[in-house]
Chains A and B, each alone.
Chain A
Amino acid sequence: MPRPGAVAKYQRFLLKKLLPACNTLQQARRELFWIQKELPSEQWKQACIQRGRHLMPLQYILGNQPFGSVNIKCRPGVLIPRNDTEEWCSELVDVFRGSDTFSVLDMCTGSGCIALYLATELSNVTVLGGDISQDCISLANENIDVNKDIIKGKIKVDSMDLFQPLAGDKKFDVVVSNPPYIPTHELEKQEEVEKSVRLYEPRLALEGDLPVFKAMVTYYIIPSQCKVFILEIGSREQGQYTRSLLDESWVVGLRLDSAFRPRNVIGFRTDIESSIKRKLMTTIIELFKKQR
């Protein structure tokens, strides 16, 4: 047994190592608590140095991130699931709970978090996750395996390129996506993008702007004949642009996240079931008008 004084001294030493990556002492204390809870004691020091000095995301160090009731494995090369994404997924699940069986395409699935969230919360769903990166496909498959006991619906992932048309004539009822949406000029700026994100997370999953949304609409939303789509966005313009690519049979609106930032563009066709329409409308804060 080490002396109590020595334990306290070591804790302070670890906290000091962690502090540069955390905004507050309380946050550093929490992160240290999680590191000590999830990793064996011989890795604590290395983990704190990786986190504090090298600014490595905590999720890559611990190897996972909770996303709703799903536990998502994380590793470098694949984007870490975000709180903001978790938030809109839980709203989406509430919209479709108890509805008829429907199929979903989750484009740019990454770790598979959105697809898994839907498939574990809803039994009436068939989800296909698509991604261009082989790292993502293999991690998403591992995540399906890890969570196989709680999956209620059907789920599959497949290799798909956002900038190539949808292969075959596959049809989906709903298209969801958290595509790369940070414009190149913002990605370089320290005040725009957190340093640990720039250093460690894959550029492929972050960098993108209007062409991404154009590909999404022309290659996926229109050909799949979907009735509803929800895309994560980084700015209002991306939502407005998405609206401009669709015709009058669509109602397209903006959703804000809980910090009141533009977070989603939501669209649905006017001929869908009225209960779903009503629930979707409550999440939309403002309708985009088609500009002429």
Chain B
Amino acid sequence: MLRLIRLSSSLPKVNIPKANKMPARPTIAEGDIKEKFIKGGSGKGGQKINKTNSKVQLTHIATGIVVTSQATRSREQNRKIAREILALKLQDLEDPANSRQRIVIERQKMVKARKNKRTKAKYETLEKNKQEKEDLLEGIDEIVFIDENSEPIQIDTKQSKQKLLKQL
């Protein structure tokens, strides 16, 4: 199957607005589309069958683009969702550089990148602190427990070092 892949680098850079200042959702004229309700394969209908889904299919007459929606149980909602998807696609086709679809995707990418950056920074600091503490205990070879009234007791240095690290 042939697939058209658009490289994002080929498009000019776009300013990403704040989440509450995104471009308006595009709409579509009712005259430009054909609507169809898709029924399942079985020949039954009416009272004989109780369907839980209601699939809506829209065809854009001029371009032949087809979208479907059956995300919700409500046909009204599915009709709205299908129209929104189709309008987004058409806007993207007309003006790929500034379409809402592109800005939404770019924004998602930005949010993800920002989150990754923060996570990375957090773990870098944690790693750095751990290293510092370890450096502090680096020179100690042996830990000896001293009590005034008894002989010095030698304890497992490796275990005690780990305990100390936790306490630091």
Interface residues of A (CB under 8 A from B): 23, 27, 30-31, 34, 57-59, 65-66, 68-69, 79-80, 82-87, 178, 180-182, 186, 192-194, 196-197, 201, 205-206, 232-234, 257-259, 261, 263
Contacts and interface: CB of A to CB of B under 8 A. Distances in A.
B117 interface: no
A15 B2 CA distance: 34
A192 B75 contact: no
Contact of B76 (A65, A69, A193): A69
A181 B46 contact: yes
B39 A59 contact: no
Contacts of A86: 54, 75
B52 interface: yes
Interface of B: 36-37, 39-40, 43-54, 70-77
Nearest to B44: A194
B36 to A, nearest CB: 7
B52 A197 contact: no
Nearest to A193: B48
B45 to A, nearest CB: 5
Given A30-B53, A66-B77, A83-B51, 7 more contacts: A34-B52, A58-B52, A82-B50, A178-B47, A197-B47, A197-B48, A201-B50
Contact of A258 (B37, B49, B71): B37
A87 B37 contact: yes
A196 B48 CA distance: 10
A162 to B, nearest CB: 15
Contact of A65 (B43, B44, B48, B73): B73
B70 A232 contact: no
Nearest to A201: B50
A82 B46 contact: yes
Given A23-B40, A258-B37, A84 B46 contact: yes
A66 B51 CA distance: 12
A194 B48 contact: yes
B82 to A, nearest CB: 15
A82 B53 CA distance: 11
Contacts of A31: 52
A186 B46 CA distance: 14
Given A27-B53, A30-B53, A31-B52, A83 B47 contact: no
30 contacts: A27-B52, A27-B53, A30-B70, A30-B71, A31-B52, A34-B73, A57-B52, A69-B76, A79-B47, A82-B46, A82-B50, A83-B51, A83-B75, A84-B45, A85-B46, A86-B54, A87-B37, A180-B47, A193-B49, A194-B49, A197-B48, A197-B50, A201-B50, A232-B47, A234-B46, A234-B48, A258-B37, A258-B39, A259-B45, A261-B46
Contacts of A232: 46-47
Contacts of A180: 47
Contacts of A192: 44, 48
Contacts of B73: 34, 65-66
Nearest to B48: A193
A59 B50 contact: yes
A197 B53 CA distance: 16
A201 B48 CA distance: 10
Contact of B48 (A57, A83, A178, A182): A182
Nearest to A200: B50
Given A27-B53, A259-B39, A205 B45 contact: no
Contacts of A181: 46-47
Contact of A194 (B50, B74, B76): B50
Contacts of A80: 50
Contacts of B76: 66, 68-69
A-B interface, 6 closest residue pairs, ranked by CB to CB distance from nearest: A66-B74, A259-B39, A258-B37, A194-B49, A58-B52, A261-B45
